[in-house]
Structure 1
Amino acid sequence: MAQLYFKYGTMNSGKSFEIIKVAHNYEEQGKAVLIFSPAIDTRTGKDEVGSRVGFKRKAIPVGEDTDLYRQVAAHQPPGAEKRIYCVLVDEAQFLSRKHIDQLTRVVDELGVPVMAFGLKNDFRNELFEGSYYLLAQADKIEEIKTICWFCDRKATMVIRYVDGLPANEGEQIQIGGNEDYKPVCRKCYKAAFAEQKQEEA
């Protein structure tokens, strides 16, 4: 039975690498997949999923008006011999509520499993829109773990850096890499801002 999966983790937890690995495993068995990635994320190209270890895969860019259900249905017409076995979504936190609704239709009406990968919370520790509705709608939720940048605890949060300093104000969506964001545990997150306040005092 097809299900909607939400696999979340902080920066550097290997989410994009996991997508590339899952796609490879399906395709090695001759089973086609579709990969989607929000058009807003152009770090490795506007139509690619890229991991920090250097692997890349072509992806279908998702814009505000993209209908994910129609995209998948178009690749899976009734009676077709070759069908889509799995849909993979990178940076799913950037999706809108309607995109998540469309993914539920892919699962429920087309019978295609969907694996959505993304961040759960932003640099202010607030949920992204896509993450919020995935947490509400997903059949299965799984954490992809990584360690804190500053200690050996599990990273559960992200610090955004602006001009080398931790920031907890600003636009929610700002695309960046290791120079802009660090995965951290809750203790180190609090310590970073406490230290900054002491320096400003």
Structure 2
Amino acid sequence: MAELVFFSGTMDSGKSTLALQTDHNHAARGRTGLIFTRDDRAGAARLSSRLGLEVDAREVDDDTDFWAVVVAERQAGRLVDYLVCDEAQFYSPEQVDQLARLVDEVEIDVFAFGITTDFRTRLFPGAARLIELADRVQALQVQSLCWCGAPATHNARTVDGVMVVEGDQVVVGDVADGSGHVAYEVLCRRHHMRRMTAGAARRRSTGTGFLDLDG
């Protein structure tokens, strides 16, 4: 039976790499799939991994109807066995419903990849709907690490190097050292709650002569 599977993890945990590997594995067995993404760091209609891998993809926007896309493909005589959907946290709940309908009524496997919560620790609507509907929610095995070495569980946004907890839910940026205007970083819960990014820790260490890892 076809499945809707949601692979989730923090930023920098290899979601896009796994999405690319999933497509490769299924294509190598003669299956035909479509790749979707939204707001990828490489630009529109691209799915990229931080390991340097990159492929063409279909860009999802607010008007994308997955059901209509698959129907159009089949009417054109092109078989669709599976969908790879990266950055799925940015999809609308209605689009996730469309994916579930394709699984149930057309027997198409859907492999969705994304983070669950935003920089405010609140669920993305698309991720929330995937958790509600998915046949399986699978945490990625590659564990991101906070700057302190603890497992990273939260995503943080920095603006001009300073962590923020207010603002628009979606602002495109990348995992970085916080030196850019808008950047993202993964933290453990303790340091997210204390707004202690790697940059803030370095500044504290420089200013005091020592680094308080409990701070």
1:148 to 2:145 alignment: yes
Deviation at 1:188, TM superposition (A): 2.0
* TM-score between both structures, scaled by the size of structure 2: 0.84
Q: Relative contact order (alpha carbons < 8 A, sep ≥ 6): 1 or 2 greater?
A: 1
* TM-score between both structures, scaled by the size of structure 1: 0.89
- Superposition map of 1:69-88 within 5 A: 69-77=67-75, 83-88=79-84
Deviation at 1:74, TM superposition (A): 2.3
1:170 to 2:189 alignment: no
Equivalent residue for 1:106?
Answer: 102
1:68 to 2:66 alignment: yes
Superposed CA deviations along residues 132-174 of structure 1, whole A, max 9, x for unmatched, are 1111111100111423231232211111111111110111100
1:91 to 2:94 alignment: no
Structure 2, gaps ≥5 residues long: 177-182, 205-215
For 1:115, what is the secondary structure of its paired residue? strand
Deviation at 1:190, TM superposition (A): 2.0
Report the number of matched residues: 193
Equivalent residue for 2:6?
Answer: 6
Deviation at 1:77, TM superposition (A): 4.3
Equivalent residue for 1:15?
Answer: 15
Q: Distance in 1 between matches of 2:148 and 2:21?
A: 28
Q: Distance in 1 between matches of 2:145 and 2:25?
A: 29
Equivalent residue for 2:26?
Answer: 26
Equivalent residue for 1:51?
Answer: 49
Which residue identity is paired with 1:170?
G
Deviation at 1:192, TM superposition (A): 2.6
Q: Distance in 1 between matches of 2:145 and 2:121?
A: 15
Superposed CA deviations along residues 96-147 of structure 1, whole A, max 9, x for unmatched, are 0110110011101110010110010000000011011111111100111423
Q: Distance in 2 between matches of 1:146 and 1:188?
A: 17
Deviation at 1:42, TM superposition (A): 4.6
Structure with bigger gyration radius:
2
Equivalent in 184, 192, 195 of residue 192 of structure 1? 195
Structural RMSD (CA): 2.0
Report if aligned partners of 2:10, 2:144 keep a CA contact under 8 Å in 1: no
